[in-house]
Structure 1
């Protein structure tokens, strides 16, 4: 079994003039990936950002390893706006995004509504030796639930009140060791991304910007 956890970021809606973007394609990005990919390219263009590659073709989930400092500055400034009013960094949520889980090269779970990149650290909790069962990725909603049985983890993506954003298989079974290795690899990407963000700390008036925008410290 091949397991990958790809850290991803979503740009804030405040970064985009949606009237300029225009109508989105029919269907969703899974059924119509080519047209949705063109649409996501247009979203980035209107936001004044480079055409960063999508973790899944047509999706809004962007790879972390390509961002330039000027574009990160734009992204963060937009993220720190609520109804055109600036929010102090230490009162903001982390940047939107999270981890995209692939099993045998198939995406089986994406970040849910309002998820932030801080949710990545919820994945670390479910591979800890002390973990038995519980919910994780608590920044967004709905939230998946994991249960450990020996060397296997069963992740359930079902909620009686909300529908999971797709792709999100109802039940996902992965090896604990395989997932732990994927998390370790993904964390290196996040740490490199954090270093880039921290290069902008002084501009945003904090000592370490990633504490707030990656780790969601208060």
Structure 2
């Protein structure tokens, strides 16, 4: 069974220059504004970065208060996008996927609502029942993923994210963004598990 974990960034389409920079790329689902992070052009990443840190640049918040991009990871099973990041999901959620795929730990927060996770000998099972909120886009009640392909999908997602991180660092150097490690700031920093790395 083919399993993919696709890094995505949620794009706010209120900004005309950003919309224009996205002309050659489409969201992964017509019901979302989630774009595969590696599909975004350098110009799109540059605009997204500036938009996302504008509050810091304007003195409205500190770098410690800055959150990463919105988005996260789409779990694609056998070519079907099965589980999407939910409200408040972020690329920094890769650390939760690491705990699931590599360590067999049910540590997960990928926005809200979020599934409960349990493990069998060979599978990771995501239980997507939530009595308070609906998953959007809708998710199956239960998603079973073979452990070995999920582990490999995690490795591939980390590599893809590293390429995006490299591009972000080049952009920050080019436009002299005063934020230190922009990839850590916008992709990796997880405030709930700050000592963990992908």
TM-score bin (small chain): 0.7 to 0.9
Corresponding residue number in structure 2 for 1:128 = 102
Verify: 1:188 aligned to 2:159, yes or no.
yes
CA distance in 2 between counterparts of 1:118 and 1:148 reads 23
Mapping for residues 1-218 of structure 1, pairs under 5 Å: 1-11=1-11, 13=12, 16=14, 47-51=19-23, 52-57=25-30, 59-81=32-54, 86-129=60-103, 131-132=104-105, 134-136=106-108, 138=109, 140-202=111-173, 203-217=176-190
The CA deviation string for residues 8-56 of structure 1, in whole angstroms up to 9 with x for no partner, is: 1111x3x615xxxxxxxxxxxxxxxxxxxxxxxxxx7663422223223
Q: Which moved more, 1:84-93 or 1:162-171?
A: 84-93
Give the gaps of 5 or more residues in structure 2.
192-198
1: distance between equivalents of 2:162 and 2:52?
20
Aligned 8 A contact 1:152 1:176 in 2? yes
- State the Cα distance separating 1:90 from its structure 2 match: 3.6
How far apart are the structure 2 equivalents of 1:87 and 1:49? Answer: 27
Question: 1:139, 1:183 → 2: CA distance?
Answer: 15
Which region of structure 1 is more displaced relative to structure 2, 105-114 or 45-54?
A: 45-54
Shift in alpha-carbon separation, 1:76–1:88, aligned structure 2, 3 A: farther
Structure 1 unaligned blocks of 5 or more:
18-43
RMSD over equivalenced CA pairs, Å: 2.4
What is the Cα deviation at residue 139 of structure 1? 5.0
C-alpha contact (below 8 Å) 2:18/2:48 kept by paired residues: no
The answer to whether the 8 A contact 2:9-2:37 is kept is: yes
Please report the TM-score for the alignment, with normalisation by the length of structure 1.
0.75
Q: Is contact 1:144–1:157 with CA below 8 Å preserved after alignment? A: yes
Paired residues in the alignment total 186
Asked if the contact 1:118/1:139 (under 8 Å) is kept, the reply is no
